[in-house]
Amino acid sequence: AQSVTQPDIHITVSEGASLELRCNYSYGATPYLFWYVQSPGQGLQLLLKYFSGDTLVQGIKGFEAEFKRSQSSFNLRKPSVHWSDAAEYFCAVGGTSYGKLTFGQGTILTVHP
């Protein structure tokens, strides 16, 4: 069965600092990997996704993620965090049944001025 682990439940960074949110997955084949952001009471916005090809994926809002098959990881990064990035971030994995996603527990990001 597929699973996703986001080890950090809550992360606090200062505005302008760099950010890395961790995601580890378990999947029997080549996975489709996603990062979503959710603001309070809102739906999900796709930040980026990985299907194949270049393992470093660029997304919206200055985010990027790197797929490392050997480590079963898909960590999300941003070089300089803005206060508006405060939200909850979900990593998700899907397979050939595209759209049927398994989500991690989420990481809440707090940004201090």
Binding site for other proteins (CB under 8 A): 36, 41-46, 51-52, 90, 96-106
The residue (of 16 and 75) whose beta carbon lies closer to other proteins is 75
Minimum CB–partner distance for residue 60 and other proteins (Å) = 11
The residue (of 31 and 104) whose beta carbon lies closer to other proteins is 104
Q: Token digits for 111?
A: 């940004």
Would you give the distance in Å from CA 37 to the centre of its chain?
8
In contact, 95 and 2? CB cutoff 8 Å: yes
Minimum CB–partner distance for residue 80 and other proteins (Å) = 25
Choose among 16, 22, 12, 33: nearest CA to 77: 22
Give me the amino acid identity at 58. Answer: Q
The residue (of 28 and 41) whose beta carbon lies closer to other proteins is 41
